[in-house]
Amino acid sequence: MLLTLTTTHRPATDLGYLLVKHPDRMHSFELPVGAAHVLYPEADEQRCTAALIIDVDPLRLAGGHGRGRGHRQAATPDTFTLGQYVNDRPYAASSLLASALAKVFRSALRGESRDRPELAAVPIPLEVRVPVLRCRGGGELAERVFAPLGWAVTATPIPLDEAHPRWGDSRYVDLTLTGTLRLADALNHLYVLLPVLDDAKHYWVAPDEIDKLLRAGAGWLADHPERATITRRYLAHRRALAGEAMARLAEQRLAEEPPADSVAEEDRAEVPRRPALALRRREAVLAALAESGATRVLDLGCGPGALLSALVGDRRFTEVVGTDVSAHALTLAARRLRLDRLPERQRDRIRLWQSALTYRDDRLRGYDAAVLMEVIEHVDPPRLPALEDAVFGHARPATVVVTTPNVEHNVRYEGLDAGRFRHADHRFEWTRAEFAAWVDRVAATYGYAAQLRGVGDDDPEVGPPTQLAVFRTTGGAPTAAGTEEKK
């Protein structure tokens, strides 16, 4: 991993004073994951370059000593578990480089210089090169984060594999920044923005990172047009931390340049406002449940519990059961519902169970209503009959509410390529006719009567974005085929 810093300020060798590293010596430092070296490939009166080389020790990076340490696999065994042993960290600039920068150039980063204090305080011509930077968002994002700070940016994409030209570019760029800036500012920019572009922190992000960010970003971050992205990524996408940091940044702006009354509006204007479809879907489902008169309800495939909280908040439901096949989703749902802090009487209304909709589950029998909200499209079509049997045949609630996307409406979504589904895990998305056919067949097989509705604005041409069906048992027992031989 390499970063070079060049100046053509005369005498250029003054760079050595600013960095407190003599150009004619090699300087080495121990890091938690290896060693950092500062050396000068060129150093004369016109031009002087300092290079920071990080020699990463793969053994230390893997966090063990080559011993097979047990690592729990993700729920999907096909995910790449070798990533901790085969990765780009020894080569690409990252938060490791930023940490090294802070350690090795500590006083320069603060703008201090014992020998050349006046030079440290003024802009000098600088050129920074990072030959391999993982840049999530591409060279264009590099341009957007560095250019507002006074840098001329050249980000040259690196091909993924010269042996396979058809693969195109890799996620790495060869980054060159030129500009006339105070050295300390340049270093602070790199300290914050290299990890932001890399977007993969090598350490656990703790709340004190906010202070580090605000300190390094002093004087430039609060006004940066990409401050939201920078903050979010720097804080490793931890929403609570990013929110706090943004609030403190806004305070800084207010303190520094009153009165800036347009700030809040600007921020809000970034997101187009209209009633979110998810919210309208929840409302439609709640309305259908209310009509049914159900008091004991199942939210099948509840996920992290968006609908559950709405159900729990409605006193007419005396028992609310959320099921999901993902134990992790249930943990999130429990957290969202604050299950461990609810009073006992409230807690007793709620149950969270791991269950899979392709298996029969006796616990789900005897409820008034079940909701399958945006669930069926996550099931492979050949497995749908098993779901139908488990829900309509076995659990057999009096009312079943099903929602699923209307694929015809997809043409109304900008940025959704033709033929693509709305979610990567969708196994299918149905037209209105396809959904209606499924609803009819299921209702006939299992002794239900069904009614179709739409959710969201009903587009005259392509229909509403979401389709909804309400099934009600018709009272009579299902046909013999429904109990004994149905599949």
Judged by CB under 8 A, the chain residues 55 through 94 that form the site for another protein are 55, 58-59, 65-73, 75-78, 80-83, 85-88, 90-92
Of residues 191-230, which lie at the interface with another protein (CB under 8 A)? none
- Residues in CB range of 231: below 8 A, 6 or more apart: 213, 221, 242, 245, 246, 249
Alpha-carbon distance of 173 to 155, in angstroms, equals 6
Candidates 357, 331, 371, 380; CA nearest to 470 is 371
Please state the closest distance from residue 287 (CB atom) to another protein, in A. 30
Of residues 15-44, which lie at the interface with another protein (CB under 8 A)? 24-26, 37, 39-43
Please state the closest distance from residue 147 (CB atom) to another protein, in A. 23
Of residues 348-377, which lie at the interface with another protein (CB under 8 A)? 354-362
Please state the closest distance from residue 361 (CB atom) to another protein, in A. 4
Between 334 and 356, name the residue whose CB sits nearer to another protein: 356
Candidates 154, 153, 151; CA nearest to 179 is 151
Please state the closest distance from residue 196 (CB atom) to another protein, in A. 18
- In this structure, what token pair is assigned to residue 20? 């407190």
Between 55 and 291, name the residue whose CB sits nearer to another protein: 55
Please state the closest distance from residue 1 (CB atom) to another protein, in A. 6
Of residues 464-483, which lie at the interface with another protein (CB under 8 A)? 477, 479-481, 483
Between 76 and 262, name the residue whose CB sits nearer to another protein: 76
Number of residues that bind another protein (CB under 8 A): 85
Q: Which amino acid belongs to residue 351?
A: R
Q: Is the peptide bond before 259 cis (omega within 30 degrees of 0)?
A: yes
Alpha-carbon distance of 373 to 376, in angstroms, equals 8
Of residues 296-335, which lie at the interface with another protein (CB under 8 A)? 325-327
What is the full DSSP assignment across 272-285? Answer: --S--HHHHHHHHH
Please state the closest distance from residue 418 (CB atom) to another protein, in A. 20
Alpha-carbon distance of 156 to 159, in angstroms, equals 10
Of positions 177, 192, 298, 390, contacts another protein by CB under 8 A: 390
Alpha-carbon distance of 321 to 302, in angstroms, equals 9
Between 41 and 366, name the residue whose CB sits nearer to another protein: 41
Of residues 116-175, which lie at the interface with another protein (CB under 8 A)? 131-132, 134, 158-161, 163-164, 167, 170-172, 174
The conformation of residue 65, written as its DSSP 8-state character, comes to: S
Buried residues in 202-231 as b, exposed as e (16+ CB within 10 A): beeeeeebbeebbebbeebbbebebbebbb
Of residues 391-420, which lie at the interface with another protein (CB under 8 A)? 394
**Beta-ladder partners of 448:** 473
Please state the closest distance from residue 420 (CB atom) to another protein, in A. 16
Please state the closest distance from residue 132 (CB atom) to another protein, in A. 4
Between 150 and 385, name the residue whose CB sits nearer to another protein: 385
